[in-house]
Structure formats: C-alpha cells, structure tokens
Structure 1
Amino acid sequence: MTLRSRAYNELFASARTDGKLTLTNRLVVLAILASVAVAIVGTERAFASENRSAILWAEFGFGVLFLAEYCARLWAVAERPGPESDWAKRSEWARSFFALIDLVVVVITLIPFILAGAPILRLLRLFRLAALLKFGKFSMALKALGSAIVDRRYDLYVTGALALVLLLGGATALYWAEGKVQPEAFGSIPRAMWWSIITLTTVGYGDVSPVTPLGKVLAALVAMGGIGLVAMPTGIIAAAFSDAMQAYREEEARGKDGAMP
C-alpha cells in the first residue's frame, strides 16, 4: 500500500465499510471541537484580555492544522476509485460542499493574521461544526434525513400551504379585531404578522397580545391551530427519518449476512 492510499484510508471515512472513524479523523474531530471552543471563549473580553497571546497562538495553530488537513485530503483523494484522472478527482472533491466549508474555514482562520480589521471573521469558524456531518455515521444519518425529506416533500408542501393560510388568516383576524385598539401592534396585516408568527410557532414572547374579548377568542383559536401546525411537519419528518434509518439497518444486516461464510 502506497503512502497516498494509506492517507486516503485514514482521511476519508467513506473509504471504510463499517462507517467508523479512523484515528486521524478522530483527531480532526477533536481539533474541530477545540477550535470552536477557543472561538467561543475568545468572545469573553475578560478571559481574552488575560490570555490574548495563548488564544492567538491556538488560533494560528488550528489554522495551520486545518490547512494541512485540506492539502492532505486534496492530495489523497486521487486514490478514490474511478476511471477519472487524478486531477479530475481532485477537482470534483474541491467543488464538493464539505470541501468548500473546509477551505472557507482555513481562509477565515488565517486571514486575520494577514489583514488588519478581520478578527471578526474568526467567529465564522463556528460553521466548521457542519464538517462533523461528513464523518462516519453522521454522514449516513444526514443522507437518511435528506432522503426522508425528499420522500415526504409533497406532505411538507401541503403542511407549508396550511401554515401560510393560518399565518395570514390569524394576522388578518387580529388586524380586524385589534387594529383600532392597538394600532402600533395590529394596525396593519404586516404588523399583525409578527404576533401571528410568534403565536403559531408557540414561541410567545408576550411583547404584543390582544386585549379585547373578540381578539382573545380569535387568538385562542390561532394558538390551538399552531399546536397542530408544529406537530404535523415534525411527525412527518420523524416518521420518514425512522423509515429511512430502518431501511438502512436492514440493508446493512443483509450485507453482513451475505458476507458470512
């Protein structure tokens, strides 16, 4: 086995049939979590002022590490099975979603050390957490979720249409019932939309609320409709995701049974 093929097996979890993380990928995951932790605590002024030098060195180290990982993946991906040339495989990988995330993270991690006034870009490194989804079982779960959403897309379209009708209906009803009493909050349908959104999503900030008897009755009806509105897409996606994961487990079990002597 060549050095590049060993690097490919270590860096790309998809090269393993069991979906488990290699030692290298485990270290990368730990580095991702550590870099995010540094970015978070670095926003605390008292801590950052006392440990400025340590934070800067840590951020620079993470930037160099992620750059090395990106270059290693770009080099090793040429070992991916397929008839394409090495550079075609590298080009295809470099244009993939997670590769673009990796590249952006490298740039925004290192650019504050090159350009003045760019430290705020370090906070964007928090999006590096999305890269965890490409590893092992996370990737399989993400594919199952995507498949579940695609399979139930028409159900979700219907739910979205009902949500829009209820949203506009609730805003219109409260505009009619409360518009003259509370013109600042319900003086127009767009203004009443804010109340309708926070009510239907069951957030309920309480910054605006109806005061008339009719408005309270209508608000109660909208609030009860919001309970069902939140439950419908949640149940649809949960059921589809469960079905997709069950199908994956059955396929995995059949593969193991077929591999048994």
Structure 2
Amino acid sequence: MRKYLHHQLFTGAEFDGRLTLLNKLLVAIILLAVFTAVLSTEAELHDKWHYELLVAEAVFGAIFLAEYLARIYAAAENPGPEGDWVKRWRFIRSPLGLIDLAVVIASLLPLFVSHSSVLRTIRLLRVIAVMKFGRFSRALGEVWGAVKDRGDDLLVTLVLAGMLLLFGATALYLTEGDIQPEQFGSIPRALWWAVITLTTVGYGDAFPITPLGKVFASFVALSGIALVAMPTGIIAAAFSEAMQRRRDQRIEEMRAHLERLDQVDEAVEAKIAALQRTSNPKP
C-alpha cells in the first residue's frame, strides 16, 4: 500500500508521461474546490446555500488532510539510506510538503475563522505542484528555458518600457500639470496614466486635453503597441527553438537506439552461429 501511494502521489506520472489516476482526481477536486470558494463569495449564493457550501468545504478539507497524511506516510518510500521518519520529516520541510500544509490550513481555517475564504485560492498551488510531474514538467521546463535563453532580450525590452513610461509621465507633467493637477500634477501621478496607456488599456480616467499633450500621448500609445508585442515575439521565437532542439534530440535518441538494436542483432546472430557450430561439429 505504501509503495502504491508513493507511486500515485510522489512519482505522479506513468511510464508514458501521463499523470496517475489519483493525481488526475486531485486536480479535478482542487479545481472544484476553488470554484466552490469563488461561488461562496457571492452574498446571494452564500445566504441561499450556506449549509451546502459549508459541508462542501468540510469535505474538501477532509480530502486534502487525508492526502497530506498519505503523503507523509508514503514519503518513507523515497530513495535514500535514511530512516522512515527522517524521510518523512524531509518531505514535511520540502516545498511540496509546505504547499500541502498551506492547502490543508487554507481549507480548514475558513470553517473556524470568518472572512478568511480568500485563503482557499491557495489550493491552486497544488495544481502547480501536481503539474511538475510527467509531461507537464517537461513543458514547463521548456517554457522556463525559453525565457532564460532570451533573458537579455527581455531585459532590454523592460528597460525600454521603463524609459518610455518615465518619458511619457514627464512629458504630460510638463504639458498638463498646471491644467490638470489631479491627474498630472506630479510625475508619480502621471505615471498611472503612462502605465495604462503604454499597456493599451486606457481607462479614460486621465487623458490630455492640450494639443501638445495629445501628441505625446499618441507617441506613448503607439510605442506601447510595439513594446507589448516585442516580448511576445521574443518568447515565441525562443519556444520554437526549444521545440526544434527537443525534436532533434528525439531524432538522435532514436538513431542511437536503432544502432544499439543493430549491435544486439549482430551479437545474437554471432551467438546463434557459434551454438550451431558447437551443436553440429564437423566430422
């Protein structure tokens, strides 16, 4: 039983890279628990289904507590010469163990403390923890590798965006500060407008009214379109290169495997020939 739980909860992936059945069920339960927590923040639903939501939260809390205890129990199967309780204590202190403990606390605390339902969203951390297994792990690793490979390019983009924000805020402060002191009376105030304009959101709560201010605003808005697109293109190109490297690696692995099979076939044929010679000696 302990080995089975260890494979289902810790190994977390079958030989084909898929999640184990238990981890799939846990992901579904986590998403259902988060969805329930989101619905419980609506006053009308909370008042109408208060008892049902409370029971659901208690059930989710019991499931996550049982999972946490099962992980502690199965942690003794982790490789290493240490004793069972040493391995279990290591798991408790590990990032995965701390995430599990936080999920359990977040699930049970709202049952005893009011206005703590927001803590239930911590359960999403368990989804991230489960996703580190199997094919999800490789996909996340490739995404992170793509970002690291283009770190310098992304840093340059970030610096350019910061310079443009400061330029736009300063320009609107100089041109609109005396006319609209509430919105542009200082560079920090103007920075709010610069951020929402650069990101092409534009809430409309602050906007220039002078011709020169509109010219600067147009420049910032058009530059924002390019700066928002630049990181997307950089990451997409890096991810495409990572996928190509992975395909090339798979091709090389398949070629090496075929070469090993050829060597094995030749060795087998040689042994068969030797056995035939010994079993049928020449007169």
What is the count of residue pairs matched by the alignment?
Answer: 256
Residue number in structure 2 paired with 1:65: 63
Alpha-carbon distance change, 163 to 95 in structure 1, aligned in 2, over 3 angstroms? farther
Moved more, 123-132 or 226-235: 123-132
Residue number in structure 2 paired with 1:8: 6
The structure that has the greater radius of gyration is 2
Residue number in structure 2 paired with 1:172: 170
Residue number in structure 2 paired with 1:52: 50
Contact 1:200–1:226, Cα closer than 8 Å, also in 2: yes
Contact 1:178–1:186, Cα closer than 8 Å, also in 2: yes
Secondary structure at the counterpart of residue 12 of structure 1? helix
Shift of 1:124: 1.9
Q: 1:149 aligns with which of 135, 147, 153?
A: 147
Whether 1:36 aligns to 2:34 is yes
Secondary structure at the counterpart of residue 178 of structure 2? coil
Shift of 1:57: 1.0
Whether 1:230 aligns to 2:225 is no
Secondary structure at the counterpart of residue 211 of structure 1? coil
Whether 1:95 aligns to 2:93 is yes
Q: Superposition pairs for residues 77-226 of structure 1, below 5 Å?
A: 77-113=75-111, 115=112, 118-133=113-128, 134-135=130-131, 136-226=134-224
Report the residue type matching 1:41 in the other structure.
L
Moved more, 183-192 or 135-144: 135-144
Whether 1:241 aligns to 2:242 is no
CA distance in 2, matches of 1:26, 1:227: 40
Secondary structure at the counterpart of residue 57 of structure 2? helix
Structure 1: state its 5+ residue gaps.
none
Report the residue type matching 1:25 in the other structure.
N
Superposition RMSD in Å = 2.3
CA distance in 2, matches of 1:207, 1:105: 39
CA distance in 2, matches of 1:90, 1:259: 39
Report the residue type matching 2:195 in the other structure.
I
Report the residue type matching 1:131 in the other structure.
R
Residue number in structure 2 paired with 1:22: 20
CA distance in 1, matches of 2:143, 2:83: 32
Shift of 1:159: 1.2
Moved more, 13-22 or 25-34: 13-22
Contact 2:173–2:190, Cα closer than 8 Å, also in 1: yes
Secondary structure at the counterpart of residue 227 of structure 2? helix
Alpha-carbon distance change, 64 to 123 in structure 1, aligned in 2, over 3 angstroms? same
Contact 1:74–1:90, Cα closer than 8 Å, also in 2: yes
Structure 2: state its 5+ residue gaps.
262-283
Contact 1:13–1:21, Cα closer than 8 Å, also in 2: no
Contact 2:102–2:122, Cα closer than 8 Å, also in 1: no
Shift of 1:59: 0.4
Q: Superposition pairs for residues 240-259 of structure 1, below 5 Å?
A: 240-251=238-249
User: What percent of counterpart residues are identical?
Assistant: 52
Contact 2:106–2:123, Cα closer than 8 Å, also in 1: no
Residue number in structure 1 paired with 2:273: none
Contact 1:8–1:76, Cα closer than 8 Å, also in 2: yes
Alpha-carbon distance change, 12 to 85 in structure 1, aligned in 2, over 3 angstroms? same
Contact 2:12–2:19, Cα closer than 8 Å, also in 1: no
CA distance in 2, matches of 1:139, 1:196: 38
Alpha-carbon distance change, 9 to 248 in structure 1, aligned in 2, over 3 angstroms? farther
CA distance in 2, matches of 1:101, 1:255: 36
Alpha-carbon distance change, 110 to 99 in structure 1, aligned in 2, over 3 angstroms? same
TM norm structure 1: 0.88
